[in-house]
Chain A
Amino acid sequence: MKHALSVRIGPVGFRIGSDWRAPIEQLTDLYRDYPTAPIADYTVRLFASRAWRRWVRPSVTIGGDYMLPEAAPLPLSQGLLAAEMAMNLQLALGHRRHLLLHASVVERDGRALLMTGESGAGKSTLATLLAAHGWRFMGDEFALLDGETGQIHAFPRLISLKGTSVAAATSAWPDGRFGPLLAGTPKGDIRHLVPPVDAIARMDEPAIPALLLFPRHGFAADTREVPASEAFVRLTQASTNYVALGEAGFAALTGLVRAIPARAIDYPDGATAIRQVEELWART
């Protein structure tokens, strides 16, 4: 491909190629603090669906080792989003070294707090807020659970902020490095935030899972104990490769839910959520 970038995010190496210069320039700038990947585990390609589409109403088709045939092309102005979506897709469909949990992760004292939930539950926002309050950010999309060691590996890719969380993150991180505002994408308005410097510098340090939260935004503050069986079922649904890993996935996931407490927390706003999380954390 004409333009390319190599980047390593935690234990995963990516090579991103593009027919156009602009998305690679944006990615190169946003990932400038990350190491290059000695080996690309996954290749992502951004290409024009027809040759003339490189210039006329350019639209970006996503390609790579793993693809969704029904994925619609995006306009070139959203090339950065296309690259990020494609990188997530490669990992979600191709990764076998770890059990992938759709969760955000922050760390303190070598112990990891996992937050999982449906899109919009606020796990990205919460991870961003906690990172602004002394926690190490380990990722807002995937928690990588090592079945051999039981440790969580960091995958601190760009933080994808949607809708109102853009304003929340901007106030939490006034000096944060943000990508361009991508308005009117299929996922609404999106802006990417580069994780804090220490999140990138320490991304090779795994952490021992200590607490699992199922946050829900927009409700009165409440906390409920989640039994291991319920946490297990919800996490099988929150994993993109549980079925593919077979017995190894079963062992890793049952081991996790038996080892750490799980709580569902409802929270009305970020400040309240941080208080709830700190209280729960103090008791673990």
Chain B
Amino acid sequence: MRYRAPGADALIATDLDHFTALFHRTSGITHLLASPAPEILATLTTPMTLDELMAALVRDYALADPDRAALSARLDELIASGLVSPA
């Protein structure tokens, strides 16, 4: 399965201390995200499999302890919130 995020022009992100406030233009819904959700959305510029996404995150954010199950859980949460969809 591949995962797809909205394009950059569909999201407005603003950092608020340890969180990122995100406005999703398509739905008009505001989200308050904690890491690694903003990083996942920023990395999913094209549809990716779980392994491709993990590799990109390890490369871009120097993940010390990559956890495939945790990333899958975070993706499920983002799908539930409407910010990520299965491609």
Residues in A lying within 8 Å of B, measured CB to CB: 227-229, 232-233, 236, 242-243, 246-247, 250-251, 254, 257-258
Q: Are B32 and A228 in contact (CB under 8 A)?
A: no
B28 to A, closest residue via Cβ: A246
Give the tally of cross-chain contacts (CB within 8 A).
36
The residue from A227, A242, A243, A251 contacting B16, defined by CB atoms under 8 A apart? A227
Q: Are B30 and A250 in contact (CB under 8 A)?
A: yes
Task: Assess whether B3 is interfacial by the CB under 8 Å rule.
Answer: no
Q: Other CB < 8 Å A-B pairs besides A232-B21, A243-B28, 12 of them?
A: A227-B17, A227-B18, A229-B17, A229-B19, A229-B21, A242-B30, A247-B12, A247-B23, A250-B12, A251-B12, A254-B21, A257-B16
Closest 6 CB pairs of A and B: A229-B19, A250-B23, A229-B16, A254-B14, A228-B16, A227-B17
Closest chain-B Cβ to A241's Cβ sits at a distance in Å of: 13
- Give the dominant DSSP class at A's interface: helix
Task: Assess whether B2 is interfacial by the CB under 8 Å rule.
Answer: no
Q: Are B32 and A232 in contact (CB under 8 A)?
A: yes
Interface size on B, residues (CB 8 A): 12
Write out, one digit per residue, whether chain B residues 13-36 have a CB within 8 A of any chain A CB (1) or not (0). Answer: 010111101010100101010000
Q: Are B25 and A229 in contact (CB under 8 A)?
A: no
Residues of A within 8 A of B16 (CB): 227-229, 232, 254, 257-258
Closest chain-B Cβ to A117's Cβ sits at a distance in Å of: 20
Closest chain-B Cβ to A230's Cβ sits at a distance in Å of: 9
Residues of B within 8 A of A232 (CB): 16, 21, 32
Write out, one digit per residue, whether chain B residues 50-82 have a CB within 8 A of any chain A CB (1) or not (0). Answer: 000000000000000000000000000000000
